[in-house]
């Protein structure tokens, strides 16, 4: 049995703007086991990035974690002070961001920036040892001639190479959890393939669990063991890659999958099936299921009552009223499942 | 009016170079950035040609040079029998009506201080198509045509979501009843569920109005979905042109093969079994590129000849064009 590394329980994060409260995450819960790769998939405004930032303790004013707990190795991160958190960030949990162009400082060399991070977390390391460690990490992520390239400035690297530097830096202190927020979105497909290949390789070589956040179903399918589908600040469905792709039990997951063209299929031109309407306004989220205004199967209960998670199997659960025992039978949705929480 | 026997648009050896460096008080060496360097293709009436490639390959520059947002350095753009590169600026007006463009960023391509009516109606007025109540009625019809409502007409762009703004951009392009629409990454700024809405709408509009599209994008699966034929660009040149099914099933150019194998497939079993071709290194700089095939430095089958001679597009049967010495 795998041990859970991270347990997120009913986390609610809001931003208090002058127009009102924006409820970016409205009760998200999941568990990440040691050594697993968890994918969080969702569109913009689904709360996937805010969930990650909440775990990192990087929610800044005017935002605040209102409720819930984030248990990392048994300790609640929500209750920790910023000083305690900065010990955990980098050492235990580190993060890479979407845009490698803006997450590196343009006026310092790569060496400067990596050594700063390494020595910040390993106080007894001298500069030479830190440089050696940095070179070792750059070699690990496949940067050619690392001894030479480490003296370069960020602008001398291409986008893909910069993302490799970010990954090397994030892994340099041996974190137990790596959060990657859209790590390949800003990159070209052939470079994306290089980075995904690298992450697949590192998954086996580095002893870290990974949370990968993306809007791209293809990327998720490629490297994740566990998947969470988010929409309107809530978790719609969670399960293994096979559960989510081969037997989705939530109309939103199904809709998302149908709206992307399946490369490889040929012959008769298939028509895409879009999800009509647009995502909810998080200032005034719908009372019931956030997807109900766009859902083809929405019932009265969907508009009025928040949906509980229905447990389909040990690994698979979904938040949809169609799974309730009194719901009408629609399509392939399993009916009469007990709800949890 | 339209002569349907010939292609609507024929691009011949189109080149667009940008001058970089040199000049100013620092002097320095002058060089040329060869964004588009000898591109040839044609689009038939009612057809969609997809142009794919990675950032910096010159696909957008090609689109912009065709509609004369840039002046070509060389080559021809024959639109319905007229070479647009030779038409004087003052006489371009009738062609501007017939070729329209949809831009990538729906946040940047609509003037935030104009109402939807003004945005859509600007072209109608400029080209003297209709005025007064007739113009207003036309704008209402266009709004409904792209899935918006009459009451949206007096609102400003910031009141709309990204997908809705892209619809306004499409309505603006349709307002002057063009023959050809250059779609420059029209969906890449939109969310997945919204992309499908816009793509379906573009397909419907094409069927109803007989539009011809040049569809520029980097998302290969979407390009495959919408295009009849596809051109693959690399560093300012076309590597391969073929019918979209043919290109996907039987890619011949080593770059096309690598590009296709790099697409992550939304199917965990399939994508993990898929043996991918990982290209080493990055796209080289388009500034003063070396002679020979542009792809040679990353190609697994490059030979001596590839570094010397630039391969030309040759027909390998049934309109499948490939620019490679070794296939």
At A270-279, the pLDDT tens digits run 788 999 888 8
Single out the residue of B14, B6, B8, B66 nearest to residue B238, CA to CA.
Answer: B14
Q: Across residues A186-214, what is the average pLDDT?
A: 89
Coil, helix or strand at residue A132: helix
Residue B40 CB-half CA count within 13 A: 11
Pair of tokens at residue B285: 């700089």
Coil, helix or strand at residue A277: coil
The CATH number that domain A4-231 falls under is: 3.40.50.300
Q: How many CB atoms are closer than 10 A to CB A54? A: 25
Gap from B150 CA to chain A (nearest CA, Å): 17
- Work out the percent of chain A whose per-residue pLDDT is above 70: 97
The CATH number of the domain holding residue B206 is 3.40.50.300
**CA–CA dist B63, B180 (Å, integer):** 11
The verdict on residue B113 lying in a domain is yes
pLDDT at residue A103 above 50? yes
Confidence bin at A100 (pLDDT 50/70/90) = confident
Confidence bin at A149 (pLDDT 50/70/90) = very high
Size of interface A-B (CB pairs under 8 A): 128
Q: How many CB atoms are closer than 10 A to CB B28? A: 11
The verdict on residue B1 lying in a domain is no
> For residue A267, what pLDDT is reported?
53
The verdict on residue B302 lying in a domain is no
Pair of tokens at residue B301: 């089958």
The ipTM estimated for the assembled molecules is: 0.84
Chain A interface includes B24 (CB < 8 A): no
**CA–CA dist A96, A212 (Å, integer):** 10
Q: Tell if the CB–CB gap between B265 and A257 is shorter than 8 Å.
A: no
Single out the residue of A50, A2, A29, A54 nearest to residue A238, CA to CA.
Answer: A29
Q: Tell if the CB–CB gap between B264 and A221 is shorter than 8 Å.
A: yes
The residues pairing with A310 across neighbouring beta strands, listed in sequence order, are A318, A339
The verdict on residue B111 lying in a domain is yes
Residue B203 and residue B47 in contact, taking contact as beta carbons nearer than 8 Å: no
Please give the residue range of the domain that contains residue B35.
Answer: 9-249
Q: Which residue of A has its CA nearest to B222?
A: A261
**CA–CA dist A239, A245 (Å, integer):** 9
Q: Across residues A94-116, what is the average pLDDT?
A: 90
Chain A interface includes B204 (CB < 8 A): no
Gap from B2 CA to chain A (nearest CA, Å): 28
Q: Which residue of A has its CA nearest to B249?
A: A264
pLDDT at residue A340 above 80? no
Spell out where chain A has E strands: 4-17, 20-33, 37-41, 63-72, 75-76, 93-96, 177-181, 209-214, 226-231, 234-240, 309-311, 317-318, 339-340
Gap from A69 CA to chain B (nearest CA, Å): 30
Q: Which residue has the tokens 């063209």?
A: A261
The verdict on residue B87 lying in a domain is yes
Distant-in-sequence, close-in-space partners of B140: CB < 8 Å, separation ≥ 6 = B150, B153
> For residue B4, what pLDDT is reported?
66
- Quote the number of domains for chain B: 1
pLDDT in tens, A9-43: 999 999 999 989 999 999 999 999 998 999 999 99
The verdict on residue B187 lying in a domain is yes
Rg of the Cα trace of chain B? 21
> For residue A44, what pLDDT is reported?
87
Splitting chain B (327 residues) into consecutive groups of 10 residues, what average pLDDT does each group show?
76 94 71 92 96 91 94 95 93 94 90 95 93 94 93 93 92 96 92 90 94 93 92 95 93 94 88 83 81 91 92 92 93
Pair of tokens at residue A180: 């990657």
ω into residue B299 within 30 of 0, thus cis? no
> For residue B1, what pLDDT is reported?
47
Q: Tell if the CB–CB gap between A43 and B266 is shorter than 8 Å.
A: no
Single out the residue of A248, A172, A260, A254 nearest to residue A215, CA to CA.
Answer: A260
Residue A222 and residue A307 in contact, taking contact as beta carbons nearer than 8 Å: no
Domain boundaries, chain A: 4-231, 234-260+273-340
The verdict on residue B298 lying in a domain is no
- Give the torsion through C-alpha atoms of A105, A108, A109, A113, to 10 deg: -60
pLDDT at residue A81 above 50? yes
> For residue A172, what pLDDT is reported?
92
Q: Tell if the CB–CB gap between A278 and B272 is shorter than 8 Å.
A: no
HEC sequence for chain B: CCCCCCCCEEEEEEEEEEEECCCCCCCCCCEEEEEEEEEEEEECCCCEEEEECCCCCCHHHHHHHHCCCCCCCEEEEEECCEEHHHCCHHHCHHHHHHEEEECCCCCCCCCCCCCHHHHHHHHHHHCCCCCHHHHHHHHHHHHHHCCCCHHHHHCCHHHCCHHHHHHHHHHHHHCCCCCEEEEECCCCCCCHHHHHHHHHHHHHHHHHHCCEEEEEECCHHHHHHHCCEEEEEECCEEEEEEEHHHHHHCCCCHHHHHHHHCCCCCCHHHHHHCCCCCCCCCCCCCECCCCCCCCHHHCCCCCHHHHHCCCCCEECCCCCEECCCCC
Q: B30 to each of A234, A294, B26, B283, how far by Cα in Å?
A: 55, 56, 11, 22
> For residue A263, what pLDDT is reported?
61
Mean pLDDT rounded to a whole number for chain A: 91
The verdict on residue B257 lying in a domain is no
> For residue A108, what pLDDT is reported?
95
């Amino acid at each position: 049995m795998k041990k859970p590394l991270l347990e997120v329980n009913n986390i609610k994060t809001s931003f208090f703007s002058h127009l009102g409260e924006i409820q970016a995450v409205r009760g998200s819960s999941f568990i990440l086991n040691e050594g697993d790769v968890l994918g969080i998939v969702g569109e913009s405004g689904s709360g996937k990035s805010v969930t990650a930032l909440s775990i990192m303790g990087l929610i800044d004013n005017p935002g605040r974690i209102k409720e819930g707990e984030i248990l990392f190795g048994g300790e609640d991160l929500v209750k920790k002070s910023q000083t305690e958190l900065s010990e955990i960030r980098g050492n235990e949990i580190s993060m890479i961001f979407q845009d490698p162009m803006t997450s590196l400082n343009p006026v310092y060399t790569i060496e400067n920036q990596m050594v700063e991070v390494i020595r910040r977390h390993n106080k007894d390391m001298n500069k030479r040892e830190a440089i050696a460690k940095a070179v070792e990490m750059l070699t690990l992520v496949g940067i050619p001639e690392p001894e030479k390239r480490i003296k370069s400035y960020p602008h001398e690297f291409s986008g893909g190479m910069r993302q490799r530097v970010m990954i090397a830096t994030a892994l340099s202190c041996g974190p137990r959890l790596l959060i990657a927020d859209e790590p390949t979105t800003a990159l070209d497909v052939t470079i994306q393939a290089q980075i995904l290949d690298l992450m697949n390789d590192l998954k086996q070589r580095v002893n870290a669990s990974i949370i990968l956040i993306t809007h791209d179903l293809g990327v998720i399918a490629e490297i994740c063991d566990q998947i969470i589908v988010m929409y309107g600040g809530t978790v719609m469905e969670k399960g293994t890659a096979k559960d989510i792709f081969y037997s989705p039990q939530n109309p939103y997951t199904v809709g998302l999958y149908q709206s992307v063209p399946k490369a490889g299929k040929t012959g008769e031109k298939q028509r895409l099936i879009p999800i009509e309407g647009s995502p909810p306004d998080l200032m005034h989220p719908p009372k019931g299921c956030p997807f109900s205004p766009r859902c083809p199967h929405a019932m009265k209960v969907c508009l009025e009552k928040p949906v509980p998670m229905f447990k389909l199997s040990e690994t698979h659960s979904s938040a949809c009223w169609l799974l309730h025992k009194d719901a009408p039978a629609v399509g392939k949705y399993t009916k009469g499942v007990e709800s949890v929480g | 009016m339209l002569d349907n026997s010939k292609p609507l648009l024929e691009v011949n050896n189109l080149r667009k170079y940008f001058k970089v460096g040199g000049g100013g008080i620092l002097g320095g060496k002058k060089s040329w950035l060869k964004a588009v360097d000898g591109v040839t293709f044609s689009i038939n009436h009612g057809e969609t040609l997809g142009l794919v490639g990675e950032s910096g390959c010159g696909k957008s520059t090609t689109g912009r040079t065709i509609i004369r947002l840039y002046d070509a350095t060389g080559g021809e753009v024959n639109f319905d029998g007229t070479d647009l590169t030779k038409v004087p600026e003052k006489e371009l007006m009738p062609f501007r009506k017939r070729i329209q463009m949809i831009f990538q960023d729906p946040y940047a391509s609509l003037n935030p201080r104009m109402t939807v009516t003004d945005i859509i109606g600007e072209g109608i007025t400029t080209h003297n198509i209709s005025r007064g109540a007739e113009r207003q009625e036309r704008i209402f019809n266009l709004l409904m045509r792209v899935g918006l409502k009459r009451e949206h007409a007096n609102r400003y762009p910031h009141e709309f979501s990204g997908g809705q703004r892209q619809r306004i951009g499409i309505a603006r392009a349709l307002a002057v009843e063009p023959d050809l629409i250059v779609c420059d990454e029209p969906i890449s700024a939109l969310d997945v569920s919204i992309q499908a809405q816009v793509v379906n709408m573009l397909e419907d509009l094409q069927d109803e109005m007989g539009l011809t599209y040049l569809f520029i994008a980097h998302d290969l699966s979407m390009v495959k979905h919408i295009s009849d034929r596809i051109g693959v660009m690399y560093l300012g040149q076309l590597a391969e042109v073929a019918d979209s099914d043919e290109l996907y099933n039987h890619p011949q150019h080593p770059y096309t093969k690598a590009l296709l194998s790099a697409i992550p497939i939304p199917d965990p079993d399939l994508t993990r079994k898929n043996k991918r071709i990982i290209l080493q290194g990055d796209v080289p700089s388009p500034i003063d590129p070396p002679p020979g095939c542009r792809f040679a430095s990353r190609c697994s089958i490059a030979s001596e000849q590839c570094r010397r001679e630039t391969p030309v597009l040759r027909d390998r049967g049934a309109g499948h064009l490939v620019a490679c010495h070794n296939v």
